Structure 1
Amino acid sequence: MTVDFRRVWLADAISQLGTRMTFLAAPLVAVLSLHASAFEVALVRAFESLGALLFGLLAGAWVDRLRCRPVLLVTDLGRFLVLLSIPAAALVGVLSLGHLYVVMFVVGSLSIWFDIAHQSYLPRLLPADQLVSANAKLSANTSVAALAGASGGGFLVQLLTAPLVFTADALSFLWSAAWIRSIRHREPGPPKRPDRHLGREILEGLRFVVRQPLLRAIAGNTATFVLWQSAHSAVTVVFLVREIGLSAGAIGLLGTIGLVGALLSAAASGRLTARFGQARALVAAAVALGPGYVVSAFTTPGWGLVWFVASTAIASFGIVLLGVTEMTCRQLVCPPELLGRVNATMEFTMWAVMPVGAILGGGLATWLGLRETILVAGVGACFAALWLVFSPMRRLRDFPAA
């Protein structure tokens, strides 16, 4: 791997850690500091993903027109400044649910620009034969961050209170920006088409995904799974606090133990794809995800917490393996000039259903109860893999190159 990739990797590593802390801290702020209902907590997740619904496709078209590095820098610095407003408001006693919703919306909007530029940047830095390894290393960042962030975030919430944990996340984006700025590689500007039109360019990305059978199946699987995953995650913290009676530190510790599966998956993904094939690994990971979420519904106090740990371990192993293979598929089958728009379209299928899933989770929790909502969401997630099982993906070993 090149020196510049190592800088991208370092930028990503600490940024992921801060993001995972906020992923836990945001609903805990709503539950513990602002005494929000289950539905109001679900709206925290909904507002975070709403920005992608509004700006995702637009961001993809612009990323194909721009150099990726400046986009990464601007979005990192923007998130640094916005997140600092949470601890600042808490310190002077004016933090509200409305403020939290606005911050999560702005951070989510900047994150979709960052994510699309980040995914499109990697093929500009590395040759195609290094993409699986590079994606696995970046997934390892996510896994380590999930482990450290879950436990560290939980204990920091108890030590500092939930709003002050946002300071750590803000500083992580400043760290990321410093490493991105140090990258020496300067990508050439994308060629300017004389007839370019933003709406037409967005449609080109959408058409490519719809007409490409592998990407179409992945998009359907992603949308279905993330819909039910969002419903599940929207109520999980409330369930663990109010029905199981766990503290913030205990929730973090449980998440850390379970997320060992993600770390193992990141370490093994290269060997698994080499032995069984990229496409086969992707389908197997998708099939395993739904049952992993179902078993969390059996969580009870005491030894019954083993169900939650097992659920997190199975789901995290599958999510990382799925993410590595899915990203590699995008980068291989898509022409370079379309990659930003294709990434945006694929991300749009995920982010667009997140607010719907979060609101669905909050509504089901109000109607059915927390445990019942977790079970329904897990069963719903099982159906996502059918998109891949009944697609050309099941007949492939590896992905074809564009």
Structure 2
Amino acid sequence: MSVLRDAAFRRLWAGTTISELGSSVASIATPLIAVQVLDASDFMVSLLTAAAWLPWLIVGLPAGALIDRITRRPVLLISDLAAAAVVISVPVAAAVGRLTIAQLLVVAMLLGTASVFFTVAWTAYLPAMFERDQLVTANSVLQGTASGTQVAGPALGGALVTAVSAVAGFVVDAVSFLVSAAFVWRIRRPERRPEVSRDAALGRDIAAGIRWLAQDRYLRNLAVHGATANLVLTGMNSLVVVFLIRTVGLSSGGVGLLLAVTALGGVGAATAAPWLARRFGSAVAVIGSKSFAGLAALLVPLTTARAGLIAFVAGMAGVGFGVVAGNVLAGSFRQAYCPPELLGRVVTGMQFVNLGAIPLGAVLAGATATVFGTRTAMAIMAAGYALSGLILLLGPLRGRRELPGALVPAASPRA
């Protein structure tokens, strides 16, 4: 049965898609406000990226343990409503002439916190909807539309900044969170409360998830690669808008259009991921996709004006293809592989390692750009990202065609 025949999934899909579209619009509007309205330095722009991901380090692990104890739908709903309230503060402050870079940093952190809870909740919710053989399809649908929002969002954001104002993207984002909440509210599928001992301390629950992650060689390898890759890739990405405006010389509308075109790589990858797994094997597809993304990143720092923009389009589209294809397959593997009662904690454990490196990468890139220049910083980050593929190539997936099968709930993980 197609996953799209499931009404609950369609509502989850619609809610996440609309929310991601709004967030994609705001993601281009935020650095444009910082650069064009507040005249922020390269380092301050990179701090905005760091602030958005810092909550994974602060609340990620407790959030996973908490979500493993409760039903997930209310978490999705509260996260959307909280995010809408936070986002609308930006256009309000701008309207009264009080918008500052400090407020943007606080908004980024609060939005990041809401994102932690929303992401962990839907990731743990999805395996309750479908059997293992449908998870890749369901994740492919979600990743495909998420990538689609990365096409529409920057183009819409750039157009709004050019035609209306830099803060218009935040109005769109706030509305998108409210619409997402309405779709989540309409999910009527009964959800069984996770079977977790009420007497267990939260710290002990967190430790159980970390222990599972640390002892399993496959998850551990994916986590180490994710952290290393995110450190340098996000460092590069945090400088993209500054690079395109100040170094290459594009307008805000041109930046939005260019980022929209490059995001097409991710759209194609979400569709191609199941085929890649069938054709080459899921393990080979994960390693190949991630390695391809690293090599494609080397083109990005070569970008110049006019014809030189081809390097940016090819490089970023290649990165998007490799990252999304690999994430669809690795994410589906994780959902099927982990015991359901540990899934939230294992997800946040991996995200703590993976995404926790992002703030450091953004700050590192900003500092490198300050000392050596933006283009040199982009080149250093791209080279580091290309080398990160060696972690998978030399890891436990080497020589395997398929990722390990799903585990039944057990007392301890396989090594």
Q: TM-score, normalised by structure 1?
A: 0.98
* Structure-1 separation of matches of 2:399 and 2:246: 46
* Residues 231-242 of structure 1: pairs in structure 2 closer than 5 A: 231-242=235-246
* Structure-1 separation of matches of 2:320 and 2:328: 12
The equivalent of 1:312 in structure 2 is: 316
CA RMSD in angstroms comes to: 1.0
Q: Secondary structure at the match of 1:140?
A: helix
* Structure-2 separation of matches of 1:397 and 1:133: 19
The equivalent of 1:221 in structure 2 is: 225
More off after superposition, 143-152 vs 391-400: 391-400
The equivalent of 1:59 in structure 2 is: 63
Contact 1:87 1:167 in 2 (8 A): yes
The equivalent of 1:88 in structure 2 is: 92
What percentage of aligned pairs have identical amino acids? 39
Q: Secondary structure at the match of 1:94?
A: coil
* Structure-2 separation of matches of 1:221 and 1:162: 36
* Structure-2 separation of matches of 1:325 and 1:274: 11
More off after superposition, 341-350 vs 381-390: 381-390
The equivalent of 1:269 in structure 2 is: 273
* Structure-2 separation of matches of 1:157 and 1:274: 43
Structure with higher helix content: 1
1:211 aligns with 2:235: no
* 1:141-186: CA deviation from partner (whole Å, max 9, x where unpaired): 1111000011111111111222121010111111111111101112
1:302 Cα deviation (Å)? Answer: 1.0
* Residues 341-356 of structure 1: pairs in structure 2 closer than 5 A: 341-356=345-360
1:99 Cα deviation (Å)? Answer: 0.7
Q: Secondary structure at the match of 1:36?
A: coil
* Structure-2 separation of matches of 1:336 and 1:275: 29
Q: TM-score, normalised by structure 2?
A: 0.95
1:216 Cα deviation (Å)? Answer: 0.7
Q: Which amino acid aligns with 1:226?
A: N
1:185 aligns with 2:189: yes
1:253 Cα deviation (Å)? Answer: 1.0
1:72 aligns with 2:76: yes
* Structure-2 separation of matches of 1:236 and 1:17: 19
* 1:360-395: CA deviation from partner (whole Å, max 9, x where unpaired): 010000011000000000000112222211122123
1:390 aligns with 2:397: no
Contact 2:287 2:393 in 1 (8 A): yes
Q: Secondary structure at the match of 1:184?
A: coil
Q: Secondary structure at the match of 1:110?
A: helix
Contact 1:294 1:374 in 2 (8 A): no
1:194 Cα deviation (Å)? Answer: 4.8
Q: Secondary structure at the match of 1:394?
A: coil
The equivalent of 1:7 in structure 2 is: 11
* Structure-1 separation of matches of 2:336 and 2:281: 14
Out of 318, 329, 334, the residue aligned to residue 330 of structure 1 is 334
* Structure-2 separation of matches of 1:162 and 1:233: 20
Q: Secondary structure at the match of 2:239?
A: helix
1:230 Cα deviation (Å)? Answer: 1.6
Q: Secondary structure at the match of 1:395?
A: coil
The equivalent of 1:364 in structure 2 is: 368
The equivalent of 2:165 in structure 1 is: 161
1:401 aligns with 2:401: no
* Structure-2 separation of matches of 1:255 and 1:261: 11
Q: Gapped runs of 5+ residues in structure 2?
A: 408-415
Q: Which amino acid aligns with 1:242?
A: R
* Structure-1 separation of matches of 2:63 and 2:198: 20
* Structure-2 separation of matches of 1:134 and 1:398: 19
Contact 1:224 1:383 in 2 (8 A): no
Out of 299, 306, 329, the residue aligned to residue 303 of structure 2 is 299
Out of 38, 41, 56, the residue aligned to residue 42 of structure 2 is 38
* Structure-2 separation of matches of 1:326 and 1:13: 21
Q: Which amino acid aligns with 2:114?
A: L
Q: Which amino acid aligns with 2:352?
A: F
1:108 Cα deviation (Å)? Answer: 0.4
Contact 1:294 1:377 in 2 (8 A): no
Out of 185, 190, 201, the residue aligned to residue 205 of structure 2 is 201
Contact 2:127 2:336 in 1 (8 A): no
1:191 Cα deviation (Å)? Answer: 2.0
* Residues 68-147 of structure 1: pairs in structure 2 closer than 5 A: 68-147=72-151
* Structure-2 separation of matches of 1:97 and 1:130: 44
Q: Secondary structure at the match of 1:352?
A: helix
Contact 2:68 2:196 in 1 (8 A): no
Q: Secondary structure at the match of 2:70?
A: coil
Aligned length: 402
More off after superposition, 191-200 vs 364-373: 191-200
* Structure-1 separation of matches of 2:160 and 2:353: 33
1:259 Cα deviation (Å)? Answer: 1.6
Q: Gapped runs of 5+ residues in structure 1?
A: none
More off after superposition, 344-353 vs 68-77: 344-353
Q: Which amino acid aligns with 2:10?
A: R
